[in-house]
Amino acid sequence: MKIQDLYDNPKKWTRGSSARDRRGYRTSPIGRYAKSWCITGAMKKCYCVFSEYEKAARKIEKELGCSSVMLWNDNKYRTFQDVKDLVTRLDI
pLDDT digits (tens, 9 = 90+) for 7-32: 999 999 999 999 999 999 999 999 99
Taking the CB of residue 18, how many other CB atoms lie within 10 A of it?
A: 22
pLDDT reported for residue 3: 97
DSSP tag of 61: H
Dump the DSSP string for 11-56. Answer: GGB-SSSSEE-TTS-B--TTSTT--EE-HHHHHHHH--SHHHHHHH
Whole-structure pTM value: 0.93
Q: Cα separation of 11 and 15, whole Å?
A: 11
- Place 69 in a pLDDT band, splitting at 50, 70 and 90: very high
- Pick the closest to residue 40 from 9, 73, 89 (CA basis): 73
Q: Return mean pLDDT, the chain.
A: 96
User: Residue type at 42?
Assistant: A
Give domain limits for the chain. 3-89
